[in-house]
Amino acid sequence: MSLLHGRTVVVSGVGAGLGHQVAAAVVRDGGNAVLGARTEANLAKSAAAIDPDGAHTAYRATDITDEAQCAALAGLARERFGGIDAVVHVAALDSYFGGLQDADFATWLSVIDVNLLGSLRMTRACLPGLKEGGGGSVVFIGTQSALAAPTQVRQAAYAASKGALTSAMYSLAREVGPYRIRVNSVLPGWMWGPPVQAYVRHAAHTEGVPEEEVLGRLTGRMALPEPATDGDVADAAVFLASDRARAITGQSLLVNAGELMR
């Protein structure tokens, strides 16, 4: 039987990268994927690529800073497929760079509102469906930078918001565990997909060096000779969403080709 046979998974933050890969993995492994993101055109494109006949996908434009929109996406999952078995949180605001000394705290609040509170809003909207189904799984996508800051870029607000989300995971795992709802995090490192590809191209162009040189700096610290891909991280998220992980909760899984080991 497929890993997610007949299961319904809500996926927030579906665009061209990791969110698309998570939704694709859900359908590949026999599940129904309910896609949410702010841009409906991106959702339509992703759903058509994953599931051309539309039998195993549904989508709704969703801004996770809006509780009503979170509730509407959870409602779509229940209306279309009869329930919710898991939710994977990919939606994130990761485009703000800098540290404390040059911090714009108004922007920090926006980052926290999306990455921490937005994920928790979407989780709360899905809890009734998860309870009705007798349990399920919540998977947060965090970041390795919440544990060890990278030297190449400075994203203090992003790291802090994702670190707070991981801390919230522990409390939530205790809170909803009696309902057989598991809560875990996947922490990617340098993940080969559109954002990292863009970083490599930009750095190579700025420095006037080949892209292979920039990529080599990243992989040089990894135990494995190439970085994890969006697909690798998606596979980890789908595993945690499945019954194969039925006894795993309150855990953080690094998917980083061995760059940081804990």
Q: What amino acid positions are annotated as catalytic residues? A: 158
* Contact present, 63 and 71 (Cβ < 8 Å): no
In order of 12, 58, 194, the CA distances from 47 in angstroms are 13, 7, 18
Question: What is the rounded CA–CA span in Å between residue 86 and residue 7?
Answer: 8
Among 236, 157, 153, 163, which residue's Cα sits nearest to residue 196? 153
Q: Is 157 helix (H, G, I), strand (E, B) or coil?
A: helix
Rounded CA gap, 219 and 48, in Å? Answer: 34
What is the Cα–Cα distance from 64 to 69, expressed in whole angstroms?
A: 7
